[in-house]
Amino acid sequence: MARVYAGGVATLDIDALIIGGGIAGLWTADALTRAGYACVVVERTALGDGQTIWSQGIIHSGLKYTLDGLLHPSARAIRDMPARWAAALRGEGEGPDLRGARVRSPHCWLWQTASLGSRVGMVGARAGLRVKPVVVGEGERPGPLRGCTGVVARLDEPVLDVASVLGALGAEHGDRIVRADLREGDLRGEGDRIVVRLSPSVEARASRVVIAAGNGAAALRAMLGLGSDAMQVRPLRMVMVRGAALAELHGHCVDGAKTRVTITSARDAAGRTVWQVGGEIAERGAAMSEAELLSAAHRELREVVPGVDLSECEMAAYEAPRAEGRMRSGARPVGPVVVTDGPVLTVWPTKLALAPVAADMVADAMRGVSPRGGRVVVHGCARPLVAAAPWDDPHRRWVSAADSMAGPGGS
């Protein structure tokens, strides 16, 4: 499949070159390989760097889209994902073998604040889903929710260790994943093919290029002479809390028709528990300074998990803008988006959980290409590692929780 031309450059003739080694690119590589397509994945820095590693690892069931009691299109798009991911985690079905991935928790918790609107939201959350909340008694609640006055329910949305998912996919397809920082001139059209320079000695001639690079998609599309109006970016700023004595918690606090906060837990390199805090606070936090956000998040956590003492903890924030396919209205897309521009396919999965659907959509768009078959092995190129989690970034600025309350708006 590789030929050597003048100058000693080896050329790979392939069906698809996938740019972006996050969850969308890697799951798409798996789907195309299983369909018989010869493909190569190119990652600029590290597998999952950016949107994938920033995510909380929840395989959503669609609950957050039914809090008003209605089954919205977003819920329909995502409600089958827990079962599909579960099959991959068992190494079954038609998807990738993710038996090497780690499940942080087999379920999330769903709880409410004491407001009337929150009680209505809990009822609405039961509408039309494959996975439904199961109310538990006081003795079945996790420690951090023992002090909550409202209803607590178990929701079978698994929480995955994202780095281990990337590692499992990388191990399965590592011989065709390369690290290369593509620049102007590294991509060019050649007849009905696109030629991509992967290293000084290796290039690929692909029938299709699949851009699955999240926020990097706009720059890559520009290199190929494509418009910048296919993508929109939703700003988000996540909060983290860490502490040696902090108890693990995975779940959503709902208030009315909104997910007030979503908390997932991990362990950092020093063995401390780290909470990732998303939900509405992350959306509002995009417009705040870091000090304002940490202060607001601390106040919010004191209300939604009143029994948890954060006084010995530290807090930090990180920006996590979410790239999506552009909607004319500016609203969030209800599911993955694939844009076709001749031989270039650009895909945005919208959520980690929807990567299988995004990959299916790309595979459908490849039906005009006759698969070459065979497994591609790329030599002479660097290989990417798995990206570090945001809480293990050595340059991250952490402040004590007490100091965060002394910041703007603190009390």
Question: Which of the residue ranges 146-150, 185-189, 235-239 would you say has the lowest mean pLDDT?
Answer: 146-150
Is residue 128 scored above 70 in pLDDT? no
**Residue 401 vs residue 80, higher pLDDT:** 401
pLDDT of residue 392: 97
Q: Are 282 and 259 spatial neighbours (Cβ–Cβ below 8 Å)? A: no
Question: Percentage of the chain surpassing pLDDT 70?
Answer: 88
Return the closest-CA partner of residue 30 out of 368, 335, 375, 348: 375
Q: Which residues contact 252 (CB under 8 A, 6 or more apart)?
A: 63, 64, 108, 109, 110, 111, 155, 259, 260, 261, 262, 263, 279
207: CB partners within 8 A, 6+ apart: 14, 15, 16, 192, 193, 343, 369
What is the rounded distance in angstroms from the CA atom of residue 254 to the CA atom of residue 67?
Answer: 8
Let me know if 280 is exposed, middle or buried by CB neighbors in 10 A (0-12, 13-18, 19+).
Answer: middle
Compute the average pLDDT of residues 129-140: 80
pLDDT digits (tens, 9 = 90+) for 218-246: 999 999 999 888 999 999 999 999 999 99
Angle of CA points 30, 390, 273, to nearest 5° = 105
Q: State pLDDT tens for residues 340-367.
A: 999 999 999 989 999 999 999 999 999 9
Count CB atoms within 10 A of the CB of residue 381: 18
Amino acid at 10: A
For residue 4, pLDDT over 50 is answered with no
Return mean pLDDT, the chain. 89
Lowest-confidence segment of 36-45, 83-92, 102-111, 369-378 by average pLDDT? 369-378
Q: Helix %, strand %, coil % for the chain, to 5?
A: 30, 30, 45
Give this prediction's pTM. 0.92
Q: What is the mean pLDDT of residues 186-199?
A: 92
